[in-house]
């Protein structure tokens, strides 16, 4: 199916979300739409799917003008959308979910057997083996996404809009998703692939459209462009190269964090066992591993959020095993949590409150139990300035900030505590390139200042480029401890899947 967008504009209050956007999508084509958070990608897709009315402009489907006023119109025209956050009913089965919103049967009795047969046929066509009677809530994220895609196809989608589809997937699931996309385009269906991950865009798309501040800043055939050029278009400049200094060999080295034979019994029967490692000053220790192999349990046990079964955790030589988070933090530990919405921020509170979340009980933010709002506000304005957080004011609610800026608030708060050890878990998750670069530099600066950093991330690039040493977790066990500059992605991959083990880096590199 072909789609043509002509001069679309959309304004929300003072913000011009989209301005004069035009592009074309051909049969069987994958068009990637790249852009930083807030560049206007999602707004545009919402207009194409009829969730948002456009201020001006028009849309043509297969050469004829189309009025899309609601998702109903979009579906009728053959446009399907897979949202970033799935629109599935967890308690329903796969079949029930796929039949949701079917219009033709409103007055008739549902012919369940017939529908089941049609669903099974779609599954078969795409080589998708799954019991359609499973409850969606019990499926892994990757399969839930598959159900969303199948749902769109079941409703007759000829054009599929995928909004940041890989953000929640493991590398294997991403590969499977790409298989499906290739299969779709081979049948002449078109795909709009929204992302800010360049590697994926380079791999899967035929053409790339780059948005910045609501405007189209460039359009390229994927074959004729490079990552560097795309980055320049996205953020308006080239990325600064990351520089890591070699520590002075005369410097005294000591472990800031020592984890000794730690065992944790996590939720849902998961456990980590017998984990031992040290993070030295002036060092970034990366933790690599496929999500769910014990990273969470490890971090929560270190930070006091979860009980350790046995073993010990020392911060600067003092034991903090199983102490409450407040006491652990008193040993100058800062923690950038994995999920900024669940733990890192209180979205319903404003930036000032979020900035003093941890230190509200200490001067200058309070005295004798009375909060000093003025000091807190001044402090927050300082953070906004020095971390370039874009917000209307220090009284703006955290929920009203973009993901990247929310993350900057968390990073700013945790670093302002002047930690000896920084525990950073997926510090750039869902953050755009500009902010990612900035946060990486902040983490490197901590190392420069001689602090210790424990960096947990699912993205190998991030772990490998920032870390001095890397430990690998597989199935709750440590399968490796290596120097970051002496290991390849493939070797790490082998340790991450438990195929090989390598413990060649139990002390910081310079000692040799």
Partner 1 sequence: MKERVKQAVPAVLVPLLAIVSAFVVGAFFLALAGYDVPAAGAAILEGTFGSRRAVSQMLMKATPLMLIGVGVAIAFKGASFNIGAEGQFFAGALGVTLLEGILRDRGLPSWLLIPLLLGAAVVFGGVCGAIPGYLKARRGASEVVTSVMISSIMVLLVGFLVNGPLQEPNKIYSESQEIVEAARLPRLQGNSNLHIGIIIAVAAAVLAYFVLEKTTYGFQIKMAGQNALAAEYAGVNPKFICVSTLAISGAISGLAGGIEVLGLTWKLYVSISPGYGYNAIAVALLAGLNPLAIIFSAMLFGGLNTGCNQMARTLGVPSSLSALLQALVLLFVVAYTVLQPQILQWLKRGKERC
Interface residues with partner 1 (CB under 8 A) are 303, 305, 324-326, 329, 335, 337, 342-349, 353, 357-358, 360-361, 366, 369-371, 373, 393, 395
> Residues 310, 313, 316, CA angle at the centre, nearest 5°?
165
Least distance from C-beta 381 to partner 1, angstroms? 15
Q: Which residues in 321-416 belong to E strands, given as ranges?
A: 333-336, 366-367, 370-371
Least distance from C-beta 399 to partner 1, angstroms? 11
Only one residue has tokens 């969303």, namely: 148
**Cβ atoms within 10 Å of 150's Cβ, excluding its own:** 22
Distances, alpha carbon 200 to alpha carbons 164, 223, 346, 361, in Å: 11, 13, 32, 45
Least distance from C-beta 324 to partner 1, angstroms? 7
Cβ-Cβ contacts under 8 Å for 88 (sequence gap 6 or more):
97, 136, 144, 147, 148
Nearer to partner 1, 14 or 186 (CB): 14
Least distance from C-beta 485 to partner 1, angstroms? 33
Least distance from C-beta 405 to partner 1, angstroms? 17
Nearer to partner 1, 161 or 401 (CB): 401
**Cβ atoms within 10 Å of 212's Cβ, excluding its own:** 18
Nearer to partner 1, 138 or 362 (CB): 362
Which among 80, 50, 55 has a CA at the least distance from the CA of 67? 50
Nearer to partner 1, 379 or 474 (CB): 379
Least distance from C-beta 337 to partner 1, angstroms? 6
Least distance from C-beta 336 to partner 1, angstroms? 11
Residue 404 contacts residue 431 (beta carbons within 8 Å): yes
Element (H, E) at 94: helix 94-99
Which among 81, 40, 76 has a CA at the least distance from the CA of 61? 76
Nearer to partner 1, 124 or 267 (CB): 267
Least distance from C-beta 208 to partner 1, angstroms? 36
Nearer to partner 1, 373 or 507 (CB): 373
Least distance from C-beta 371 to partner 1, angstroms? 6
Estimate the crossing angle of helix 141-154 against helix 112-125, to 10 degrees: 110
Can you tell me the distance from the alpha carbon of 421 to that of 336, in angstroms, rounded to the nearest whole number?
11
Element (H, E) at 452: strand 452-456
Least distance from C-beta 229 to partner 1, angstroms? 40
Nearer to partner 1, 373 or 504 (CB): 373
Nearer to partner 1, 148 or 353 (CB): 353
Nearer to partner 1, 121 or 360 (CB): 360
Distances, alpha carbon 290 to alpha carbons 10, 287, 340, in Å: 40, 10, 20
Q: Given phi > 0 = left and psi -120 to 50 = alpha, else beta, which region is 413?
A: alpha
Residue 163 contacts residue 45 (beta carbons within 8 Å): yes
Q: Which residues in 268-425 belong to E strands, given as ranges?
A: 271-280, 283-288, 310-315, 318-319, 333-336, 366-367, 370-371, 421-425
Q: What are phi and psi of 211, to 5 degrees?
A: -110, 140
Nearer to partner 1, 278 or 300 (CB): 300
């Amino acid at each position: 199916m072909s789609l043509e967008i002509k001069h679309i504009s959309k304004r929300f209050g003072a913000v011009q979300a989209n301005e004069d956007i035009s592009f074309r999508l051909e049969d069987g084509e994958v068009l990637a739409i790249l852009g930083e958070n807030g560049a206007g990608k999602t707004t545009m897709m919402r207009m194409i799917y009829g969730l948002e009315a456009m201020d001006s402009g028009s849309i043509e489907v297969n050469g004829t003008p189309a009025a899309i006023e609601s998702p109903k119109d979009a579906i009728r025209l053959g446009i399907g959308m897979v949202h970033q956050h799935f629109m599935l009913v967890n308690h329903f089965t796969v079949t029930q979910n796929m039949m949701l919103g079917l219009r033709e049967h409103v007055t008739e009795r549902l012919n369940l057997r017939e529908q089941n047969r049609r669903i099974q046929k779609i599954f078969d066509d795409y080589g998708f083996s799954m019991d359609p009677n499973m409850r969606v809530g019990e499926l892994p994220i990757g399969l839930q996404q598959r159900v969303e895609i199948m749902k769109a196809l079941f409703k007759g989608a000829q054009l599929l809009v995928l909004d940041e589809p890989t953000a929640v997937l493991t590398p294997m699931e991403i590969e499977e998703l790409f298989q499906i996309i290739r299969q779709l385009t081979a049948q002449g269906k078109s795909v709009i692939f929204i992302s800010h991950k360049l590697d994926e865009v380079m791999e899967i798309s035929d053409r790339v459209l780059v948005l910045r501040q609501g405007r189209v800043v460039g359009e390229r055939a994927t074959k004729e462009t490079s990552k560097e050029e795309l980055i320049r278009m996205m953020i308006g400049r080239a990325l600064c190269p990351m520089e890591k200094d070699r520590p002075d060999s005369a410097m005294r080295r000591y472990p800031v964090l020592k984890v000794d034979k730690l065992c944790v019994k996590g939720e849902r029967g998961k456990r980590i066992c017998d984990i031992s490692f040290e993070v030295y000053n002036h060092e970034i220790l990366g933790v690599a591993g496929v999500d769910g192999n014990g990273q969470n349990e490890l971090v929560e046990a270190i930070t006091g959020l979860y009980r350790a079964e046995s073993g010990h955790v020392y911060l600067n030589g003092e034991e903090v095993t199983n102490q409450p988070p407040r006491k652990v933090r008193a040993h100058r530990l800062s923690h950038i949590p994995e999920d900024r919405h669940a733990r890192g921020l209180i979205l319903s509170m404003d930036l000032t409150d979020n900035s003093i979340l941890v230190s509200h009980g200490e001067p200058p933010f309070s005295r004798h139990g009375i909060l000093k709002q003025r000091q807190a506000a001044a402090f927050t304005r300082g953070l906004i300035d020095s971390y370039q957080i874009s917000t209307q004011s220090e009284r703006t609610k955290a929920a009203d900030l973009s993901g990247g800026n929310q993350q900057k608030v968390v990073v700013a708060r945790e670093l302002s505590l002047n930690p000896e050890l920084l525990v950073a878990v997926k510090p750039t998750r869902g953050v755009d390139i500009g902010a990612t670069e900035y946060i990486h530099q902040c983490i490197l600066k901590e190392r420069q200042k001689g602090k210790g950093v424990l960096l947990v991330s699912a993205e190998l690039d991030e772990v490998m480029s920032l870390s001095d040493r890397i430990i690998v977790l597989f199935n709750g066990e440590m399968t490796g401890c290596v120097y970051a500059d002496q290991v390849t992605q493939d070797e790490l991959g082998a340790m991450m899947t438990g195929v090989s083990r390598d413990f060649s880096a139990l002390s910081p590199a310079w000692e040799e």
